Chains A and B, each alone.
Chain A
Amino acid sequence: AQSVAQPEDQVNVAEGNPLTVKCTYSVSGNPYLFWYVQYPNRGLQFLLKYITGDNLVKGSYGFEAEFNKSQTSFHLKKPSALVSDSALYFCAVSPYGQNFVFGPGTRLSVLP
């Protein structure tokens, strides 16, 4: 069975500091990995994805994520956090591009 873990419910970081939101996954076969962001009372917005190729993928709003096959991780990172990055972040896996399985979400708070 496919699963996604986001070990931290909440991540707090000061504005200007680097941020990391962690994600690990379990899937049979080749994983398609995604990060989505959700602002209050809104749907999810796509940030970035990994399907194949370079392990470091760059996405929207300066975010990037690194696929690590041996650690089955896909952590989301940003070199310098903004207050406007405060939101709920979801990691998702889609085995062979089929149904998506979402992690529980991590709430990011960037403090001014």
Chain B
Amino acid sequence: GAVVSQHPSWVICKSGTSVKIECRSLDFQATTMFWYRQFPKQSLMLMATSNEGSKATYEQGVEKDKFLINHASLTLSTLTVTSAHPEDSSFYICSARGSREISSGANVLTFGAGSRLTVL
């Protein structure tokens, strides 16, 4: 089945530094990738949607200059948290959907394992 690899699983950084999280689709081409943020005991909050080769579409209230999303290839999307601050500490999850899944009607999102960011 479809697999999405997300790296790193855990990251601790100092305030003011930038952190990059990678999301890779291992056995399918992800035409669309989604980035979510999850606070403790809360649901997923969609941050942005990215299509390969296009600029990401950010949800209202999400700072695009703060959370840089790149989807340069059909198998890789990255989220960079720039100038991180303690309030950015959270669990970030990516998900991906391929063109084959859409055309077949499967329309299932495949999620990465998530990345827990702690900003000191």
- Residues of chain A contacted by B93 (CB below 8 angstroms): 43-44
CB-based nearest B residue for A103: B43
Nearest CB in chain B: distance from A100 CB, A:
6
| Contact code string A61-75 (vs B, CB < 8 Å = 1, else 0) | 000000000000000
CB-based nearest A residue for B1: A46
Nearest CB in chain B: distance from A68 CB, A:
21
Whether A43 and B42, one on each chain, are in contact in the complex, defined by CB atoms closer than 8 angstroms, is no
**How far apart sit A43 and B4, CA to CA, in the bound complex (Å)?**
10
**How far apart sit A46 and B108, CA to CA, in the bound complex (Å)?**
8
- Judged by a CB distance under 8 angstroms, whether B62 is at the interface is no
| Contact code string B73-95 (vs A, CB < 8 Å = 1, else 0) | 00000000000000000010101
Whether A104 and B107, one on each chain, are in contact in the complex, defined by CB atoms closer than 8 angstroms, is no
- A104 touching B49 in the complex, CB below 8 Å, given contacts A41-B114, A45-B111: no
**Which A35-55 residues sit within 8 Å CB-CB of chain B?**
36, 41-46, 49, 51
Question: Of A32, A43, A49, which one neighbours B111 at CB under 8 angstroms?
Answer: A43
- Residues of chain B contacted by A42 (CB below 8 angstroms): 113-114
- Judged by a CB distance under 8 angstroms, whether B116 is at the interface is yes
**How far apart sit A17 and B91, CA to CA, in the bound complex (Å)?**
33
CB-based nearest A residue for B105: A51
Sample of 15 further A-B pairs with CB below 8 A, known A34-B109, A43-B113, A105-B43: A41-B91, A41-B114, A43-B4, A43-B6, A44-B44, A51-B107, A94-B107, A97-B105, A99-B46, A99-B49, A100-B46, A100-B109, A102-B43, A102-B44, A103-B43
